[in-house]
Amino acid sequence: MRPHPQRSGYELVAGLRRFKAARILELETVPVKVFNWDDRTAFHAAISENSNRRGFSALEELDNTLRLLEIQLGCSTEVVSLLYRMNNAAKGIILNPGKSP
């Protein structure tokens, strides 16, 4: 967890499955660690958590790398959206042309 960057409260960075399990078990309290991370560090932690759980496809790896670059450079690009559209087109899946998936 980390303090939410835009509003009050906290943002869950890693541990979504543990959080859901605690809710199912109706636990009143759950120990957490709160870090004062910037967006880049939080994204690294989230990627690390997910990569320990399962292997990413080549497209997901590229997606993560491009999103990290967006955060590091402080800009937004349409490259990730374009890559998903190209991947879907290669598979014969057409989703509203011109719209992001």
pLDDT in tens, 79-90: 667 777 787 888
Within this chain, do residues 50 and 3 fall inside the same structural domain, yes or no? yes
In total, how many domains does the chain have?
2
Beta bridge partners of 2: 11
Q: Which residues of 34-70 are buried (b: 16+ CB within 10 A; e: fewer)?
A: eeebeeeebbbbbbeeeeeeeeeeeeeeebbeebeeb
Average pLDDT for 2-22: 86
The residue among 20, 36, 55 that closes a domain is 55
Q: What is the pLDDT of residues 20-76, one digit of tens each?
A: 999 999 999 988 899 999 888 888 888 777 666 666 677 777 777 777 777 777 766
For residue 27, the model assigns a pLDDT of 93
Does pLDDT of 97 surpass 60?
A: no
Domain extent, residue 7, equals 1-55
pLDDT range class, residue 101, cuts 50, 70, 90: very low
| 42 plus 30 within the same structural domain | yes
50 shares a domain with 25:
yes
Q: What is the mean pLDDT of residues 1-18?
A: 85
In a shared domain, residues 50 and 77? no
